[in-house]
Amino acid sequence: MGSPTGRLRFFSSLKGWLTMSIQAYILIQTEVGKAGSVTKAVNAIAGVTIAESVTGPYDVIMRAEASSMEDLGRSVLAKVQAVPGITRTLTCPVAVL
C-alpha cells in the first residue's frame, strides 16, 4: 500500500463500505382481497426495490432500501403503512454476517 496506485486501490475498496445503505424485507398482511392493490401501491413508493404478492401468513413481501434506519422508517415505512388495505407489517432488516 506504499505506492500511490496501492493507496488508490485501497481507498476504492472502501467506497462500498462508506456508501452502504440499510436494506430490509417488510412482510405485509392485508385485508381480504387487497393484496393486488397493496402490491401495486407499495411498488410505487420511493425506496421500495421490489414488492410481490405471496401466499401464506403474509400477503405481500417487499424489499426496501434507505441510507439509514431512521430514513427507512421516515421515508419508506411511514408511506407503506399509510397504504389503504394494510392491516399489519413486520420489518426484517437485512443482516450482513
The pLDDT tens digits for 6-21 are 555 554 445 444 556 8
> How confident is the model over 55-68, as pLDDT tens digits?
999 999 999 999 99
pLDDT of 42 above 70: yes
Assign 27 to helix, strand or coil.
Answer: strand
- State in Å, rounded, how far the first CA of the chain is from the last one: 27
What is the phi/psi pair of residue 89, to 5°?
-130, 155
pTM comes to 0.78
Could you tell me which CATH class the domain 20-93 is placed in? alpha beta
Domains of the chain: which residue ranges? 20-93
Backbone angles phi, psi at 70, to 5 degrees: -60, -45
> For position 7, what pLDDT does the model report?
53
